[in-house]
Copies of this chain bind each other. A is one copy, B any other.
Amino acid sequence: MTAIGFIGLGVMGGPMAANLVKAGFDVTGFNRSPAKVERLVAAGGRGATSAAEAVEGADVVVTMLPDSPDIEAVLLGGSGKGDDGVLARLAPGTVVVDMSTIRPDVARSLAAAGAERGIGVLDAPVSGGEQGAVDATLSVMVGGEAATFDTARPVLDAVGRTIVHVGPAGAGQTVKAANQLIVGGTLQLVSEALVFLDAHGVDRSRAVEVLAGGLAGSAVLDRKAPAMLARNFDPGFRVDLHHKDLGIVTAAAREAGVAIPLGALVATLMASLRAQGHGDLDHGALLLQVEQLSGRADD
């Protein structure tokens, strides 16, 4: 039975680890908060009191952490040289699957650090949210070596539904970044359209109905516009996190010399929404800012 060390048992990682247990894997989990480790134990997994303990004897290590520095600290350790992190403890042939959303260049350097030790490292960020994690219906965008992908495939199948190997190391994060660019931009476009329609006295529910059926149709229009029109901005996906992700997008575009004028403007607008104190709202709250800038804020 494949032994999995799982680091990061939060909102996403917790149910994912539980699904791995359910699928028959031998899962040992670690999280800074012991309560989350206990939840995994209650679900049939094993608990560890450190990352090092969690990965001992693991065939596959899965990480699900908030941001680039977190995953670097866990895998490479404090010095940044990799001598006291998890990578240094793993046997050659082990596979690491990082499912966090981080910078593509960090993902590439982690893969390189793994390769030096004979360890395959995949970047495998997900989309689908907490519900997708619970239901094991996540979409997973995987970057790394094909052979490593094949090895990790059964693990990924246990947590997601659409599993696509999109390219070499970093490619998974790049696709996730592109995803966040498109989603953020579409939310802003739909917000602009909704305020535009309102200002011209149009029945917005009917307008959304006809827009959704044509070339303007999108998952954002289908899944987010109704809540936006109902002024329900409970997350969902928080502005704070989308802001973090758009930072990854703009940095990666800058690194590669890619012109993303709309992306840069969306990143500015998301940052403004956060600076105005709305970091905890759903990202559909971009609508509030368009209303504000149009002199149509409620208050």
Interface, chain A (partner B; CB < 8 A): 79-80, 104, 127-128, 139-141, 143, 162, 164-168, 170-171, 174-175, 177-179, 181-183, 185-186, 188-190, 192-193, 195-197, 199-203, 206-207, 209-211, 213-221, 223-224, 247, 249-250, 252-254, 256-269, 271-272, 274-277, 290, 292-296
Contact = CB atoms under 8 A, between A and B. Distances in A.
A215 B223 contact: yes
- Which 4 pairs across A and B sit closest by C-beta, in order of nearness? A257-B275, A259-B293, A218-B218, A275-B295
Nearest to A132: B214
Given A203-B166, A256-B199, A257-B199, A183 B262 contact: no
A275 B261 contact: no
Contacts of A260: 192, 196, 268, 290
A207 B256 contact: no
A105 to B, nearest CB: 10
A263 B186 CA distance: 11
Classify the interface of chain A: helix, strand, loop or mixed: helix
A192 to B, nearest CB: 4
A196 B174 contact: yes
A187 to B, nearest CB: 9
A265 B271 contact: no
28 contacts: A80-B80, A141-B207, A162-B209, A167-B203, A167-B206, A167-B207, A175-B202, A181-B193, A182-B190, A185-B186, A186-B186, A186-B216, A189-B189, A192-B258, A195-B259, A196-B260, A215-B223, A215-B224, A217-B219, A218-B220, A256-B294, A259-B271, A259-B293, A261-B293, A264-B265, A272-B294, A272-B295, A276-B295
B262 A264 contact: no
A178 B218 CA distance: 14
A101 to B, nearest CB: 13
A129 to B, nearest CB: 8
Given A182-B193, A192-B258, A295-B276, A213 B171 contact: no
Contact of A294 (B104, B259, B267, B294): B259
Nearest to A128: B214
B257 A175 contact: no
Q: Among A79, A185, A254, A261, find the residue whose CB has the most chain B CB atoms closer than 10 A.
A: A261
A128 B170 CA distance: 38
Contacts of A217: 218-219
Given A210-B141, A252-B200, A294-B275, A258 B79 contact: no
